[in-house]
Amino acid sequence: MTSEYSPEEEPSARAQRLAEFFVGTPLLRLRIEREDEEFEFARSAPAALPRSPEAALSPEPAVELPVDILRADVVGIVRFGRHVPTLGEEVPEERELAAIEALGIRTSVRARSSGRLRAILCQDGAAVDYGRALFEIERG
């Protein structure tokens, strides 16, 4: 890392800085977890990486926008609400995408920021364990 972590830095500024750092690396995926923060950056699959000389010369590498991965923080059953999440839909910040039901208690899974729902990794009624990825949102 080219610069040090600073707790005073705004998370959005840190995300920007980390994204810039990621662009400069050959990595396909980078995940950083620190206390209550989590950043994940990803490029498309290797086949989509620039291979032709023209593409390699392109000043802008194929980097996707920062992605939020929403994970289960309890063990339970996934329940979709009235609004069933659909792939590709734009979701506002705080939108409840699902809930996890455990021991009669319902825990909401909400979008941390607005963006495009780019992956639905769970099914209504399925059992999930701690840390299981449920949704991916491309922040926009």
Distances (CA, A) of 127 to 86, 96, 98, 119: 20, 18, 13, 18
**Contacting residue, 17, 132, 133, 139, with other proteins by CB under 8 A:** 132
Q: Which residue, chain included where needed, has tokens 């734009």?
A: 90
Report CA-CA distances (Å) from 100 to 13, 16, 93, 127.
32, 31, 19, 9
Does the footprint of other proteins cover residue 129 (CB under 8 A)? yes
DSSP alpha helix (H) spans, the chain: 11-23, 53-57
Q: Cβ closer to other proteins: 69 or 75? A: 75
State yes or no: residue 121 binds other proteins (CB under 8 A): no
Pair 36, 112: CB distance under 8 Å: no
Minimum distance from CB of 123 to other proteins (Å)?
13
Number of residues that bind other proteins (CB under 8 A): 11
CB of 59 to other proteins, least distance (A): 39
Per rule CB under 8 A, is residue 57 in the interface with other proteins?
Answer: no
Residues that bind other proteins (CB under 8 A): 74-77, 102-103, 127, 129-132
